[in-house]
Amino acid sequence: MRKVRRIRRAGQATELIAADVHAWPVDAATIDTKVTLIQALIPLGLLHVAESLQQELELLTGPRYARHGGQPGLVRHGRQAGSVYLADQKVPIHVPRVRDRERNQEVPLATYQRLQTPRGTDAGVLRRILAGLSCRDYAPCAEAVPEAFGLSASTVSRRYIKASAAKLAELSERRLEGHDLVARFLDGKTFAADTMVIALGVTVSGAKVVLGFVQTATENAKVCTAFLRSLEARGLRADDGLLVGIDGGKGLHAAVETVFGSAAAIQRCQWHKRENVLAYLPQSQHARIRRMLRAAYAQPTYEKAKAALGRARAELIPLNASAAASLDEGLEETLTLHRLGLQAELSVSFSTTNCIESVNALVEQRTAKIDYWKTSDQKQHWLRPRSSTSSRGSAGCAGIATSRRSAGRSRPT
């Protein structure tokens, strides 16, 4: 089972118990989170792999079509399909071949052999890369990318730095018009006394796209509104309707209302709602009430789910009136998918904020040993995720196109 850690206010990371992790909703988003965060830099790593292989090829055989240079007896011998590991990701490439005519045998390329085993990514190198992204200082950032994948930093050329710096600028400042988004998740991740608010989009095909993040003291409405406005300025639109998943924070809720208005249908996280209710109850009541709330939200229609939640509320009143009040608060927004008639198609991925919680869980894994956060850059570099689309789609994406048509016309009254 994957290890998940919670960051306390002081910055100390503690491992969650198994029951906490098992209580999290699980979907396809959990599976590919690491891929989502690593693969952004892989195209830049491949640029350097190709250049390094070419340098070794010329060292052994001389420049192409040249009569002199290289080592005696060594000649180019075409190329073949192969693969390398960049960090722990296996990536297919074409590998040039070298043959020794005198010995009549293949000559292996040392660069290629070094990349045949997976390796971890050095956290310090990632810090330099991601801090460079957040500061838009792309040239030093580009120099560090090969090192992040275990490649020789001494062979980095000016041509590589120029090409990869341009790609990094595109990664950090890219326009968002090209993403046909129908859903968005917003959530905060705590680093000591600060919060990083993350925006994750889901396209009409079900692919996940990390849109950006902002550092703030709290999830307050002013900062969150400015953050959403900045995404709009980069081309993000909700004119055709948008499903927005949040955990129930008032600042995020107010920001969504301000920026998107009636175009957004807010789906509050059912998992957070359930856990908020249980927080008011003694441990002896948790299992029974949890089962009751799960069964209510699993109902196929809005009417049946609302009735089942009403029965759960009646059970809560004699136990703890505050628990019943917690269930009432924002209840209609936990039933948005039911009201849209999309519970069956989209409940696995969109009834909770698990799409983005899984991103946060991986950040917690990466920051487990950091007890003290010194600077804003140090906090921001850990949250610079992949900005292209994910390799796996969100579960239930067959109903996503329907959600766009439905999102803007169904708001609780």
197 and 76: one domain? no
Whether 332 and 202 map to the same domain: the answer is: yes
| 230 in the same domain as 96 | no
* Structure tokens that stand for 380 in this block: 């921001």
Do 137 and 181 share a structural domain?
A: no
Residues 146, 208, single domain; the answer is no
Model pLDDT, residue 12: 38
pLDDT at 263 over 50: yes
Residue 48 neighbours by CB under 8 Å, 6+ apart? 145, 146, 149, 151, 155, 156, 160, 164
User: If pLDDT is split at 50, 70 and 90, which confidence band does 356 have?
Assistant: very low
CA separation for the pair 309, 329 (Å, rounded): 12
Q: Which of 173, 194, 229 is the last residue of a domain?
A: 173
Nearest-angstrom CA–CA distance, 287 and 315: 14
pLDDT score of 55: 85
Residue with tokens 């709009």: 232
Contact 400, 204 (CB under 8 A): yes
> How sure is the predictor about 125, in pLDDT bands with cuts at 50, 70 and 90?
low
Please check whether residue 386 is in contact with residue 36, taking contact to mean a CB–CB distance below 8 angstroms: yes
Q: Which residue has the tokens 């009432």?
A: 328
Kindly state whether residue 138 falls inside one of the protein's structural domains. Answer: yes
What does the pLDDT look like over 281-325, one tens digit per residue?
Answer: 999 999 999 999 999 999 999 999 999 999 999 999 999 999 999
Tens-digit pLDDT profile for residues 39-72: 566 777 777 788 888 888 888 888 887 777 778 8
Encoding tokens for residue 121? 């990514």
What residues pair up with 84 in beta bridges, in sequence order?
91
207 plus 322 within the same structural domain: yes
d(CA 304, CA 2): 36
pTM (predicted TM-score): 0.55
Boundary (domain end) residue, out of 122, 152, 173: 173
Number of C-beta neighbours around residue 122 at 10 A: 15
Q: What is the largest CA-CA distance in the chain?
A: 92
The residues pairing with 222 across neighbouring beta strands, listed in sequence order, are none
CA distance 207 to 265: 20
> Which amino acid belongs to residue 102?
E
Predicted local distance difference test score (pLDDT) of residue 326: 95
314 and 336 both lie in a single domain:
yes
- Tell whether 125 is covered by a domain: yes
Residues 196 and 169 in one domain: no
Token pair listed for 40: 């952004």
Are both 147 and 183 inside the same structural domain?
A: no
Is residue 161 scored above 50 in pLDDT? yes
Q: Within a 13 Å sphere around the CA of 48, how many CA atoms are in the beta-carbon half?
A: 28
Query: Residue 412 domain-assigned?
Result: no
Query: Of 140, 173, 206, which closes a domain?
Result: 173
Q: CA 127, CA 366: separation in Å to the nearest integer?
A: 11
Give whole-number Cα distances, 249 to 14, 109, 182, 253, 357, in Å.
24, 55, 21, 6, 14
Specify whether 284 is located in the same domain as 234: yes
Please give the tally of structural domains in the chain: 2
pLDDT at 246: 87
Q: Is residue 308 part of a domain?
A: yes
Range of the domain at 262: 5-31+177-407
Tracing tokens 């000649």 back to the chain, one arrives at 75
Same structural domain, 222 and 305: yes
Asked if residue 8 has pLDDT above 60, the reply is: no
pLDDT at 147 over 80: no
pLDDT in tens, 211-220: 877 777 777 8
Neighbours of 275 (CB within 10 A): 16
Query: Is the pLDDT higher at 228 or at 343?
Result: 228
